[in-house]
Each structure stands twice: as structure tokens, then as C-alpha cells.
């Protein structure tokens, strides 16, 4: 009998909603299969990396750093330095170590900015948070240090998710016709294999024949136990 889930949608065998549900399930299975294959590929790369003498945990940290925003990396390093200083594992707070050596009152924002101007390289710039406001320091064409508050730009709107699905990892496709594909499906059921072991690509007409053979042998639609 048709049954409704929590959303109230009526689902029954050989209905439009049933076919729609099957489409969703197969799409999810396809994505999970691709994710599993990618995870295996990553393990192989790390194994090769370790065999070449590289340190895997360090490489993972490098990957994490590369994927992070530069400002987030800088802030994390600053917080780490501050915490190490707070628990006695560092003698001085490194962020303002050089400024402190200039006898600058670190609570006076303008004095800190003027002190940081002395540390600006000839080529390049410094962006530092003084309080909650980031400040950009650089040198103009004449070599004079300049400073300005950094106005954070609004974050761009998230891009819509791509509609395409990842390609399914390749399988060895049997060299059989439609009847052979149907027989393979029936054989898979008799050998207690799930319907998802279908070896044919998603765009191969024999895929449907395999599923049909499996269902015919099982006497079900491949969706699981039926309810009374």
C-alpha cells in the first residue's frame, strides 16, 4: 500500500513519487561511491609521500594552512604566541616584542601605529590588528610610511552549487547484450549481492536490464522490504 513519510508525501510502488525517490537514492549512491574512491586515492598519495621520506602530519598541517585565509592564519599564529607566552612557554609576547623594546605604551593606539611605521619594509606592507581595528601600513613612492584603517569588504554571496554530479569511478563492464545483462542481474540476486553492484555505467541501456533481472529474481522492486 502507498505510504506517506514524515513530510506527508505519498510514496507507492510504480508511482511517479516512487520513481522520483529511486532517482534521489541512485544519485546519493553515486556521490558516495565517488567520495569513497577519492578517499582511497588520497590514502595512496599519502603512502607515496611517506615512502619518499616526507612527514605526513606536517603535510596535513601545510594543506590546512593553504586552504585557510591568510588573515585567519595570521590571527591563529598570533593567538598561539600569546597563549604560549601566557603559560610561560615564551618569554615575550612576539606580536609586540619589537614595539615594546621601543618603550611604547601599548595601550596608546596612535603610539603603536607610529612605532609600527618604523618596521614597514621598503617594499611590502604590514597589516596588524590594534584593538579590534586592522591597520594597513606601507611606504609611498618617497619612502614615507603611511597608515590607514582597513575597511573589511562585505563577503560575496555564495555561489550556487554546481548541478553536475561527479563522474562515477570506472568499473569493469561485462561484454554482454541486454539479455546477458538481465541474467547477470538475476545471478547477482541469487548470489546475495545488492542491486547496487550493477556493473554498467549510468548511461548504459544494459544497466536497466541488470536491475530488471535482479528485481525479477527477487520478486521485489529493489527498494527493500515491503510493508503490509
Q: Where are the domains of the chain?
A: 10-67, 68-149, 171-219
- The helix/strand/coil state of 132 is coil
Mean local confidence (pLDDT), 20-46: 93
Q: What is the DSSP letter of 149?
A: E
| CA–CA dist 79, 83 (Å, integer) | 6
162-176 burial: b if 16+ Cβ within 10 Å, else e? eeeeeeeeeeeeeeb
pLDDT in tens, 98-145: 555 555 555 677 877 787 777 777 777 878 777 677 888 888 888 888
In the chain, beta strands by DSSP E? 3-4, 10-11, 125-130, 133-139, 145-149
CA distances, 124 to each of 72, 136, 145 (Å): 19, 11, 11
Quote the pLDDT of residue 104.
57
User: pLDDT tens digit string along 163-208?
Assistant: 555 555 566 889 999 999 999 999 999 999 888 889 998 889 999 9
Q: Which three cell numbers stand for residue 4?
A: 506517506
pTM (two decimals)? 0.42
Amino acid at each position: 500500500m502507498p505510504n506517506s513519510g514524515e513530510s506527508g508525501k505519498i510514496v507507492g510502488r510504480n508511482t511517479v513519487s516512487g520513481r522520483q525517490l529511486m532517482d534521489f537514492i541512485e544519485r546519493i549512491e553515486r556521490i558516495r561511491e565517488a567520495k569513497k574512491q577519492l578517499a582511497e586515492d588520497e590514502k595512496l598519495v599519502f603512502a607515496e609521500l611517506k615512502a619518499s621520506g616526507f612527514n605526513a602530519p606536517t603535510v596535513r598541517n601545510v594543506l590546512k594552512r593553504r586552504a585557510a585565509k591568510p588573515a585567519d592564519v595570521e590571527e591563529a599564529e598570533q593567538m598561539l604566541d600569546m597563549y604560549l607566552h601566557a603559560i610561560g612557554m615564551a618569554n615575550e609576547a612576539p606580536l609586540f616584542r619589537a614595539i615594546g623594546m621601543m618603550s611604547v605604551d601599548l595601550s596608546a593606539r596612535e603610539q603603536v601605529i607610529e612605532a609600527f611605521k618604523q618596521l614597514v619594509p621598503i617594499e611590502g606592507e604590514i597589516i596588524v590588528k590594534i584593538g579590534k581595528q586592522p591597520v594597513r601600513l606601507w611606504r609611498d613612492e618617497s619612502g614615507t610610511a603611511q597608515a590607514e584603517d582597513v575597511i573589511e569588504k562585505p563577503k560575496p554571496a555564495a555561489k550556487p552549487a554546481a548541478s553536475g554530479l561527479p563522474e562515477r569511478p570506472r568499473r569493469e563492464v561485462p561484454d554482454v547484450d541486454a539479455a546477458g545483462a538481465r541474467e547477470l542481474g538475476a545471478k547477482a540476486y541469487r548470489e546475495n549481492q545488492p542491486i547496487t553492484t550493477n556493473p554498467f555505467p549510468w548511461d548504459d541501456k544494459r544497466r536497466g536490464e541488470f536491475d530488471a533481472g535482479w528485481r525479477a529474481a527477487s520478486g521485489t522492486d529493489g527498494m527493500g522490504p515491503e510493508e503490509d
